[in-house]
C-alpha cells in the first residue's frame, strides 16, 4: 500500500473505515475466482472433511450451534 493511500485511510473515522472494509469485502467476494486459496486452507478443509467422514454423527447441527451462541433454545 502506498503512503498516500495509507494517509487517506488514517483520516477516515472508525465508521468510515468499517464501511471501507465492507465495500472491499463485497468487491473481493464478487471476483472470488481470482483469489488464490492458500495451501494451508486446503489442508485444514481436507482434515475437517476427513474427521467428518470418519464420524459424521459427531458434532452439532447449525441450529444447535446457533441456539447455543444466541442463548435461544
User: Does 25 share its domain with 47?
Assistant: no
On the CB side of 58, CA atoms within 13 Å amount to: 8
Is the overall model pTM greater than 0.95, yes or no? no
User: Does 72 share its domain with 45?
Assistant: yes
The domain total for the chain is 2
Q: Which domain holds residue 20?
A: 1-35
- The pLDDT of residue 73: 64
Euclidean distance between CA atoms 49 and 22, whole angstroms: 30
pLDDT, one tens digit per residue, over 48-73 is 999 999 998 888 888 999 999 998 86
User: Does 12 share its domain with 43?
Assistant: no
Question: Residues with Cβ < 8 Å from 46, sequence gap 6 or more?
Answer: none
User: Does 23 share its domain with 51?
Assistant: no
Mean pLDDT (the chain, rounded)? 91
* Grid cell listed for 5: 493511500
User: Does 7 share its domain with 18?
Assistant: yes
Amino acid at each position: 500500500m502506498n503512503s498516500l493511500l495509507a494517509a487517506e485511510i488514517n483520516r477516515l473515522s472508525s465508521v468510515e473505515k468499517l464501511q471501507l472494509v465492507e465495500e472491499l469485502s463485497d468487491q473481493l467476494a464478487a471476483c472470488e475466482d481470482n483469489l488464490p486459496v492458500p495451501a494451508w486452507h486446503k489442508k485444514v478443509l481436507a482434515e475437517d472433511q476427513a474427521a467428518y467422514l470418519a464420524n459424521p454423527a459427531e458434532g452439532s447441527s447449525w441450529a444447535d450451534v446457533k441456539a447455543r451462541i444466541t442463548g435461544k433454545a
